[in-house]
Amino acid sequence: MPHRAHLFSLRMAHAFREACIDEPYRGRRFLRDVMAGLTVGIIAIPLAMALAIASGVAPQYGLYTAIIAGFVIALTGGSRFSISGPTAAFVVILYPIAQSYGLGGLLLATLMSGVLLILMALMRLGRFIEYIPESVTLGFTGGIAVVIATLQIRDFLGLQVGDMPEHYWDKLALLTGALPEFDGMSTLVAGVTLACMLLWPRLKTPVPPHLPAVVIGSLLTLWLNAQGAAIDTIGSRFSYLLPDGTEGAGIPPFLPEFAWPWQQAGASGEPVGLSWSLVRDLLPAAFAIAMLGAIESLLCAVVLDGMTGKRHSANSELMGQGLGNIITPFFGGITATAAIARSAANYRAGAESPVSAMVHSLVVLLALVSLAGLLAYLPMPAMAALLVMVAWNMSEAPKSLHLLKTAPRSDILVFLTCFSLTVLLDMVIAITTGVLLAAVLFMREMAQMTRVTDIAQSKRIAESRLPDGWQVFKINGPLFFAAADRIFGELAVLARNARGFILYMDGVTILDAGGLSALNKLIATCERDGTQIVIADLQFQPLRTLARAGVAPIAGVSCYTSSLDEALRLISCPASETDRASG
Structural domain containing residue 461: 451-572
Amino acid at 359: V
Q: Does residue 551 register a pLDDT over 70?
A: yes
- The pLDDT of residue 356 is 93
> Does 579 fall in a domain?
no
Q: Which of 398, 416, 441 is the last residue of a domain?
A: 441
Q: Does residue 113 register a pLDDT over 90?
A: yes
Give percent of the chain with pLDDT exceeding 70.
Answer: 95
- The pLDDT of residue 9 is 64
Q: Does residue 114 register a pLDDT over 90?
A: yes
- The pLDDT of residue 3 is 45
Are 34 and 75 in a shared domain? yes
Single pTM value for the model = 0.76
3-state SS string over 380-442?
Answer: HHHHHHHHHHHHHHHHCHHHHHHHHHHCCHHHHHHHHHHHHHHHHCCHHHHHHHHHHHHHHHH
Residue 121: closest CA among 13, 18, 8, 19: 8
- The pLDDT of residue 583 is 46
Choose the weakest-confidence range: 185-194, 221-230, 316-325, 570-579. 570-579
Banded model confidence at residue 573, pLDDT cuts 50, 70, 90: low
User: Cα dihedral sign for 64, 68, 70, 71?
Assistant: positive
Count how many Cα atoms sit within 13 Å of the Cα of residue 90 in the half-sphere of its side chain. 39
Q: Does residue 580 register a pLDDT over 60?
A: no
> Does 144 fall in a domain?
yes
Task: Give residues with Cβ within 8 angstroms of 160, minimum separation 6.
Answer: 178, 181
- The pLDDT of residue 462 is 65
Are 220 and 358 in a shared domain? yes
Higher confidence at residue 188 or residue 136? 188
- Average pLDDT of 379-397? 86
With left for phi above 0 and alpha for psi between -120 and 50, is residue 357 left, alpha or beta? Answer: alpha
Q: Does residue 563 register a pLDDT over 60?
A: yes
Are 335 and 376 in a shared domain? yes
Query: H or E segment at 53?
Result: helix 27-54
> Does 48 fall in a domain?
yes
Are 386 and 487 in a shared domain? no
To the nearest whole number, what is the mean pLDDT of the chain?
85
Banded model confidence at residue 237, pLDDT cuts 50, 70, 90: confident
Choose the weakest-confidence range: 287-301, 322-336, 548-562, 564-578. 564-578
Are 436 and 461 in a shared domain? no
> Does 11 fall in a domain?
no
476: exposed, middle or buried (C-beta count within 10 Å: 0-12, 13-18, 19+)?
Answer: middle
Banded model confidence at residue 108, pLDDT cuts 50, 70, 90: very high
Are 156 and 265 in a shared domain? yes
Q: Does residue 1 register a pLDDT over 60?
A: no
- The pLDDT of residue 439 is 77
Distance of CA 204 to the CA centre of its chain: 32
Q: Does residue 231 register a pLDDT over 80?
A: yes
3-state SS string over 294-326?
Answer: HHHHHHHHHHHHHHHCCCCCHHHHHHHHHHHHH
Q: Which of 441, 468, 498 is the last residue of a domain?
A: 441
- Average pLDDT of 434-453? 80
Helices 27-54 and 380-395: crossing angle in degrees, nearest 10, is 110
- The pLDDT of residue 195 is 94
- The pLDDT of residue 467 is 83
Are 493 and 376 in a shared domain? no
Are 274 and 145 in a shared domain? yes
